[in-house]
Amino acid sequence: MLFNSLTFVVFFVLVLSAYWTMRSWTARKNLLLVASYIFYGAWNPPFALLLFATSALDFYLGARIAADDDPRARRAWMITSVTVNLSSLGFFKYGNFLLTNFEWTLSKYGVAYHAPQFDVFLPIGISFYTFHSLSYTLDVYRKVCQPTKSLRDFTLAVSFFPQLVAGPIVRAADFLPQLVTAPGLKRGQFYWGLLLMTLGMFEKIVLADTMLADTADTIFGYGGPLQALDAWAGVLAFSGQIFFD
């Protein structure tokens, strides 16, 4: 479900309409949580389980870190969180790459080892939500924030769909307090938000996906050697594409 697709527009309008028809803050949070998992599951439903498992694990480890007075135990819980999160991220992003290089290294020493090849599908947004969730246990360990007692609030903080697959990574210490009480809508916020969304869509659709992407593809798709000016134009176009995307 791309942000610049008609499907997302319909999804967003439905969620926004349902949100403002609900008076209970608890019901609104439940709605946002369900909507966030529907949004993520639309890419590949099984990976929504990985998203929940990551959130549930760090919610538990954050509670254990806060509950223990022994510095060694606190450090052990923190290291567990770091190890599990980075191992999961490393497996999905670099598993086959590391196995291939391990096989190549052994071959240099005369060891004929053929690493098994896994058809690993990279979960979208895994880097964002992994570091988002991990930042919580690190903040609790550093006593920057207090552990939340609500699994629902924490899973919502990690899976909140506007920043789930494209960032930015929001620290739990900044996001979780906003879930305690219902925020009020101040004058001008709606129009300011609409302006920011419009600007973002312009940067994504017009600049990144159209003008800059076409320029970069044309330059780097050229079969022959490039002049210095053309090469720089391609680099700048691709950099701008990534930035505005």
Please give the share of the chain, as a percent, with pLDDT higher than 90: 45
Residue 118 — pLDDT band, cuts 50, 70, 90?
low
User: Which residues neighbour 125 within 8 Å (Cβ) at sequence distance 6 or greater?
Assistant: 40, 164, 165, 166
The DSSP call for residue 119 is -
pLDDT at 95: 75
The DSSP call for residue 163 is G
- The rounded mean pLDDT for the chain is 88
Q: How many other C-beta atoms lie within 10 A of the C-beta of residue 11?
A: 17
For 100-107, what is the mean pLDDT?
Answer: 76
pLDDT at 155: 95
Q: Is it the case that residue 91 has pLDDT exceeding 70? A: yes
Q: Summarize pLDDT for 143-188 with one digit per residue, the tens.
A: 988 899 999 999 999 999 988 877 778 888 888 988 988 887 787 8
User: Which residues neighbour 135 within 8 Å (Cβ) at sequence distance 6 or greater?
Assistant: 169, 171, 172
Four-residue CA torsion sign, 136, 141, 145, 150: positive
Please state the separation of Cα 233 from the chain's center in Å. Answer: 30
CA distances from 1 to 11, 78, 185 (A): 9, 34, 27
| DSSP annotation string for 165-204 | TT-PPPPHHHHGGGGTSPPP--TTHHHHHHHHHHHHHIII
